Amino acid sequence: MSLFSFSTNKKVIATKPKIAHFSLSTQNSWLLWCCQCINIALISAELSSWMLAIIALSFVWQALLLNKNATSHKLSSDKKNSQSKKKPDHHISPVFLGFFAIAGCLAITLSAQGLGVLLSMVHLLSFAYALKAFELKSRRDFYQLFLLGLFLVAAALIFKQDLSFALIAMVALVVNLAVLLQFFSRAQAVSNTLKTVLLLLGQSMFLAAVLFIVFPRLSPFWQVPQANSATTGLSDTVQPGDIAKLAQSSELAFRVNFSQGNIPTYSQLYWRAMVLEDYDGRAWSRTAPDPATVSHDNYQLEAINKRLFMPNTFKESEKLNYQIITEPSFQHWLFALAPATSKDNSLLLLPDYTIQSRKLLSQAKGYHLDSYLNSPLEVNIAQERKAQNLALPARSNPRLVQLAQQLAQQYPDSEQRAQAVLTQIREQQYFYTLEPPRLLNNSLDQFFFDTKAGFCEHYASAFTFIMRASGVPARLVTGYLGGEYNNLSSDGTTNRSNEAQGAQQGHLSIYQSDAHAWSEIWVEGKGWLRVDPTAAVDPMRVNSGFSTQLQQQQLALNNNLLSFNHLKKFAWLNELRLRFDALDYQWTRWVLGYSNDKQRDLLQQLLGKVQAWKVALIIIGAMAISIALVFGVMLLINHQKKQKRALSPWLVLYQKALLILANNGLEKPVNVTPQKFLLILKIKYPELSLAFARVNASFTRLNYQELTREEQKKEFKKLQQHYKNFIKATKKI
Amino acid sequence: MTLKENALTWFTQRANSWLTKRIPAANSHTLSNRNIFILPTPFGIAYLSFVLLLFLLGTNYQNNIILLLSYLLASFFITVMMHSFLNFSKLKITVPVNQQHQLGYAGQPLYFPLIISAVKKHYHVNFQLKSLPPQLNFDDRKASLACCEKGDNSRQLLIIGQQRGEYSLGRVTIYSEYSFGLFKSWSQLDFAQHVTLYPKPKRIVSKQYALLNDKTEQGESISLRGNRGIDDFSELKHFVRGESKARTAWKQLAKGQGHFTKHYQENHGGLLWLKLSDMPAENIETQLSYLTFLVNELTRTEQVFGLQLNSSHSEILPNSGSSHQQRCLQALARF
């Protein structure tokens, strides 16, 4: 943690005698200030608000100091009083700064419990970074500040990696480097500095890419504190209203790429995330994993998996292979079209057909699944599991219980009974809304009989409750429904050829707004059947995802201007959004998803047998190429400059005139001066000599005399006139 | 002398002889891959360790973006190295031939001009004299160019020496930390610059010296000023601009024969010898300082004098004029 010890080192640095006088130009100081703001802004999402307030305060302070310095500097240079040699710089007293630093560190330590290790470190880092700017006393401090800034950019990348954020981080990197470059080329304008940095970074890209592809990827050396950011997406308890809240977010949840290109119809895309089997009268929650069945013991799990996902019960022809790339949700839940199998060791396949990741999803994760959409789920279940899915808390929702008993008598067949409930929902005045009225104690009775307005989880929980009360095992399933199809993710050529074959290319993007809840009932001989009561109240939602009413609500509720619901209003903006989404998808797939295995496969393809010396050779080759690239670009730039100089318009005209003479048998040797050449011309073509003499005189003036712009223009016009006359004269010969 | 010191001196000697072979002395050098050295600065090494730290961070978090960032920064390091070379090369540095040798007094600032010709813009060019003898000191604040524009730029190396003598300036170190302070491109160029420092003139009161002279057996004395009236007239010379009007031969001027000035000779007829042993001081440096003052003073008043240092074979025969003055002063500097 030596990086964080700057704040404690301060006093040591301050008391050291400084030999070299250090100061930044005003321009550079402001650039540094902007750079610091950008760096802090990058990581601001992870900082607590009090820390942000402190940092903002110190930045404002810094800005005031800079302003004061700039004005006093101007004053002193105006007066030109050389007698006072003392610096006009305003500094904060080190005692005060030290006190401030200690207070800040104390505050961070106190809140460390809540923040967790990683976040407290990030807080400390940001705090040190903001304070360090107050004491730039030597070049060393400046360098330290620069490296701290870069580290902050890297730290921000721990938490977020999507394409847009990576691009912003790149911008921050450019600004950071520009600050450093500006220090060594003070006279340069900021725009030129930025250009130089971009050129240099551009020249470094090639080697960086090669290193990224071939440099050996190592497994983690030691355990690092993981980012425990706020979890996003579904949670493992659902109360009425939860999913409605989630559905207002336009954040990306995950993306799917179907390998054969045949995407199932929209109404089949029930992305299963969690199965909730416990109902306590208010909320649905997941059963605490039964240690007998779900332990983290691999052998037992494999046994369960074998029993549940017996390959012979699946028809190979129905196999649907696809890849899912999830966004970091800081949870364990993954998504699948049930029933799904996978050979991926990093996945846990649970008996309720849901899938978990063994590791917390703090980064984008890609995995492949095989699904068999028409296969039954768990045809035989144990008696205790059945009882679990029939359990209801005593005395909750008596009116629903009454209805259930009534239906049980009316429809002895469980499927018919379910259909009857759906019919009731369809035929009565029920509303599907993102803003359901609040329910007292989450009473399902109140929803089903009084308010009659709710989102998917209201309908699903009420339905599940009725089924349980009437004696049918039922459970609530949460996940996502549908997704947005984007065919821009494949490049144009392959897209067209695939379309010709009738296959679809592209990917599905599933957003948080696609969050959904539905129910499953268990029917003897058929296993778990999916019943989506939402289909009864808003069939559009289930069949195409397109529900005008819902979209308008989402639009009204979402005040984020950049959310795609707003963008959808304009065709071109939507196109742009889809294009960016496609790019982000490729970024996630190829850059974020580039793993050890992929590297091994790729290197094997490229090199045959992977050997260290081959990899080293590639890296050395890439280095040579990038060095050649730098020199090549330099040569090119110099060459262009020279050409520009050589091709002045008057020179072109003069050369043309000489060419005409050469065609007429009179060539001007290089070593003959224009004056001498004129004499030779006089002898050979006396009728041309006057016209050429004029051209010559004009050209000499333009080429060898220092003229102002105006004069140059005038003279060039004269030259053109003379040239025309010369041409006329030559035609007479 | 320990073994370590021995090895060190041996090493520096080898390095110096290698340098002399590789970059021989000349009054003009063009920087190229022949004479440029590039090494990472301490900050460059800190930067590399930082890149390594990022690599560890990326590996431990299995974070591809941080890994990519570390690769980019590592690759950037190499690019910067080449750019610092490109920034530094093709720079032509010239010392005018007549400026390679500078003369002056101890304690007096001396300027060595450098003409820096560039075909493109160069940044952050600094000059330093590292192998300067300890008797000289170099004011390093002034010899730097933040931005070297296309064309000729000039800078001066300011040297102040406190002790008389003849010194060689040694190699001029030229360095640049552009673009990012990660690398120091440097070169050590030998412009064959040397300096002769005369002793610092110290005023001697004429009476004091005259008194001293009276005691000497030779009975020779010098007259510094005031007793010119009794000097014998020797000749008329053509008027040279700057000569005192008091010496104008008015008679000749009035006759229209031209503008002449009268010149006188010492009435003692003998030669005037300045002797080290005559100087009224115990300290040899002070004595030399007095002599310097006297040499200047006598030259100013156009008197003929000779200089005798401690032994008879290191004497300069009496003469006058500025070249004589130079000879005397050089002898004093070398003594």
Which CATH number do you get for residue B62?
2.60.40.10
A455 within a domain of the structure (yes/no): yes
Tokens found for residue B75 = 């690759």
Residues B177 and B273 in one domain: no
B49-95 confidence digits (pLDDT tens): 999 999 999 999 888 999 999 999 999 999 999 999 988 888 899 98
Residues B162 and B227 in one domain: no
Tokens found for residue A15 = 């008391």
Residues B319 and B212 in one domain: yes
Residues B134 and B215 in one domain: no
Percent of chain A at pLDDT > 90 equals 25
Instruction: Pinpoint the alpha helices (H) of A291-382.
Output: 298-308
Residues of A in Cβ contact (< 8 Å) with B181: 139, 143, 180, 183-184
Q: Which of B144, B178, B198 is the last residue of a domain?
A: B198
Residues A444 and A321 in one domain: yes
pLDDT of residue A241: 83
Where is B305: in which H helix or E strand? strand B305-308
Residue A143 has pLDDT above 90, yes or no: yes
B245 within a domain of the structure (yes/no): no
Amino acid occupying residue B227: N
Residue A563 has pLDDT above 60, yes or no: no
Confidence of residue B223 (pLDDT cuts 50, 70, 90): very low
pLDDT of residue A292: 46
Q: Which of B198, B222, B246 is the last residue of a domain?
A: B198
CA torsion through residues A337, A340, A342, A344, sign: positive
Where is B156: in which H helix or E strand? strand B151-161
Give me the mean pLDDT over the B182-209 stretch.
Answer: 83
Tell me B162's DSSP state: S
- Structural domain tally of chain B? 2
pLDDT of residue B234: 61
Residues B211 and B76 in one domain: no
B242 within a domain of the structure (yes/no): no
Give me the mean pLDDT over the A589-618 stretch.
Answer: 86
pLDDT of residue A298: 54
Q: Does A177 sit within 8 Å of B123, measured CB to CB?
A: no
Distance from C-alpha of B145 to C-alpha of B82, rounded to nearest angstrom = 20
Give me the mean pLDDT over the A236-242 stretch.
Answer: 84
> Contact, B262 vs B247, CB < 8 A?
yes
Residues of B in Cβ contact (< 8 Å) with A220: 59-62
Within 8 A by CB and 6+ apart from A721, the residues are: none
Instruction: Specify the residue for token string 């360098």.
Output: A143
Q: Which residue among A123, A516, A566, A722 is the active-site one?
A: A516
A255-272 confidence digits (pLDDT tens): 998 877 678 888 889 999
A231 within a domain of the structure (yes/no): no
B124-182 confidence digits (pLDDT tens): 888 888 777 777 777 655 577 778 877 788 888 888 888 888 888 888 888 998 879 99
pLDDT of residue A244: 84
> Contact, A45 vs A57, CB < 8 A?
no
Residues A284 and A379 in one domain: yes
B293 within a domain of the structure (yes/no): yes
For B320, the domain range is 206-231+266-334
Residues B217 and B151 in one domain: no
pLDDT of residue A330: 84
Give me the mean pLDDT over the A706-733 stretch.
Answer: 82
Residues B148 and B174 in one domain: yes
Residue B270 has pLDDT above 60, yes or no: no
A379 within a domain of the structure (yes/no): yes
Distance from C-alpha of A266 to C-alpha of A236, rounded to nearest angstrom = 25
Distance from C-alpha of A722 to C-alpha of A696, rounded to nearest angstrom = 9
Q: Which of A565, A585, A605 is the last residue of a domain?
A: A585
Within 8 A by CB and 6+ apart from A176, the residues are: A35, A39, A146, A149, A150, A153
Q: Phi and psi for A510 in degrees, rounded to 5?
A: -110, 125
CA distance A218 to chain B (A): 6
Tell me A302's DSSP state: H
Instruction: Specify the residue for token string 């330093």.
Output: B128
Distance from C-alpha of A61 to C-alpha of A53, rounded to nearest angstrom = 12
Q: Which of B173, B198, B223 is the last residue of a domain?
A: B198
Question: CA-CA-CA-CA torsion for B29, B33, B36, B39, nearest 10 degrees?
Answer: 170
A480 within a domain of the structure (yes/no): yes
Q: Does A220 sit within 8 Å of B60, measured CB to CB?
A: yes
A290-349 confidence digits (pLDDT tens): 544 444 555 445 555 555 555 556 666 778 889 899 988 888 889 999 888 887 878 888
- Structural domain tally of chain A? 3
For A696, the domain range is 648-732
Confidence of residue A695 (pLDDT cuts 50, 70, 90): confident
Within 8 A by CB and 6+ apart from A482, the residues are: A266, A269, A510, A514, A544, A545
B117 within a domain of the structure (yes/no): yes
Residues B112 and B27 in one domain: yes
Residue B48 touches chain A, beta carbons under 8 Å: no
Residue B181 touches chain A, beta carbons under 8 Å: yes
Residues B25 and B52 in one domain: yes
Q: What does the mean pLDDT of chain A come to? A: 81
Distance from C-alpha of A43 to C-alpha of A169, rounded to nearest angstrom = 10
Q: Does A222 sit within 8 Å of B60, measured CB to CB?
A: yes
The CA-atom distances, in angstroms, between A487 and each of A503, A508, A571, A586 are 11, 9, 16, 12
pLDDT of residue A555: 63
Residues A531 and A384 in one domain: yes
- Chain A residue with CA closest to B87: the answer is A634
B258 within a domain of the structure (yes/no): no
In a mutagenesis test of the B interface, which of A175, A185, A194 is the best target, namely the one with the most B β-carbons within 10 Å?
Answer: A185
Active site residue A722: no
Cα A523–A529–A531 angle (5° rounding)?
120
Q: Does A623 sit within 8 Å of B179, measured CB to CB?
A: no
- Chain A residue with CA closest to B177: the answer is A184
pLDDT of residue A539: 82
Amino acid occupying residue A506: G
CA distance B77 to chain A (A): 8
- HEC states along A473-516? CEEEEEEEECCEEEHHHCCHHHHHHHHHCCCCCCEEEEEHHHEE
Confidence of residue A549 (pLDDT cuts 50, 70, 90): low
Distance from C-alpha of A479 to C-alpha of A520, rounded to nearest angstrom = 13
A99-136 confidence digits (pLDDT tens): 888 888 888 888 888 888 888 999 999 999 999 988 88
Residues of B in Cβ contact (< 8 Å) with A2: none
Give me the mean pLDDT over the B253-270 stretch.
Answer: 65
Active site residue A456: yes
Give me the mean pLDDT over the A611-634 stretch.
Answer: 89
Pick the closest to residue B149 from B177, B172, B116, B175 (CA basis).
B116
Residues A422 and A548 in one domain: yes
Residue B184 touches chain A, beta carbons under 8 Å: no
In a mutagenesis test of the A interface, which of B32, B55, B56, B62 is the best target, namely the one with the most A β-carbons within 10 Å?
Answer: B62
Q: Which of A585, A603, A623 is the last residue of a domain?
A: A585
Residue B226 has pLDDT above 90, yes or no: no
User: Among B50, B68, B82, whose Cβ lies nearest the Cβ of A150?
Assistant: B50
pLDDT of residue B267: 46
The 3-state DSSP class for residue A2 equals helix
pLDDT of residue B209: 57
A476 within a domain of the structure (yes/no): yes
Which of the residue ranges A370-374, A553-557, B92-96, B323-327 would you say has the lowest mean pLDDT?
Answer: A553-557
A232 within a domain of the structure (yes/no): no
Residues B45 and B160 in one domain: yes
The 3-state DSSP class for residue A154 equals helix
A228 within a domain of the structure (yes/no): no
Residues A443 and A534 in one domain: yes
Give me the mean pLDDT over the B293-315 stretch.
Answer: 79
Q: Does A143 sit within 8 Å of B46, measured CB to CB?
A: yes
ipTM score for this prediction: 0.76
A352-363 confidence digits (pLDDT tens): 888 888 888 888
Amino acid occupying residue B151: G
Q: Does B146 sit within 8 Å of A627, measured CB to CB?
A: no
Q: Does B64 sit within 8 Å of A184, measured CB to CB?
A: no
Peptide linkage before B179 cis (omega within 30 of 0): yes
Q: Does A634 sit within 8 Å of B86, measured CB to CB?
A: yes
User: Among B50, B63, B147, whose Cβ lies nearest the Cβ of A158?
Assistant: B63
Within 8 A by CB and 6+ apart from A36, the residues are: A59, A62, A129, A130, A133, A149
pLDDT of residue A363: 82
Give the strands of the sheet with A252-258, arranged side by side: A340-341, A365-372, A319-326, A252-258, A507-511, A484-486
> Contact, A319 vs A259, CB < 8 A?
no
B192 within a domain of the structure (yes/no): yes
Tokens found for residue B60 = 């431990």
Q: Does B60 sit within 8 Å of A224, measured CB to CB?
A: yes
Q: Which of A563, A585, A607 is the last residue of a domain?
A: A585
Render A75-118 in DSSP notation, one character per residue. Answer: HHHHHT-TT--S-------HHHHHHHHHHHHHHHHHHHHHH-HH
pLDDT of residue A306: 53
* Cβ neighbours around A394 below 10 Å, total: 5
Give me the mean pLDDT over the A96-100 stretch.
Answer: 84
Residue B202 has pLDDT above 70, yes or no: yes
Confidence of residue A8 (pLDDT cuts 50, 70, 90): very low
pLDDT of residue B319: 82
A230 within a domain of the structure (yes/no): no
Residues B218 and B281 in one domain: yes
Residue B293 touches chain A, beta carbons under 8 Å: no
Give me the mean pLDDT over the B205-217 stretch.
Answer: 50
B24 within a domain of the structure (yes/no): yes
> Contact, A389 vs A474, CB < 8 A?
yes
A472-501 confidence digits (pLDDT tens): 999 999 999 988 888 776 544 344 444 434
- Chain A residue with CA closest to B76: the answer is A204
Confidence of residue B313 (pLDDT cuts 50, 70, 90): low
B259 within a domain of the structure (yes/no): no
Residues of B in Cβ contact (< 8 Å) with A180: 180-181
- Chain B residue with CA closest to A118: the answer is B61
Mark residue A523 as left, alpha or beta (left: phi above 0; alpha: psi -120 to 50; beta: remaining): beta
pLDDT of residue A17: 38
Tell me B248's DSSP state: B
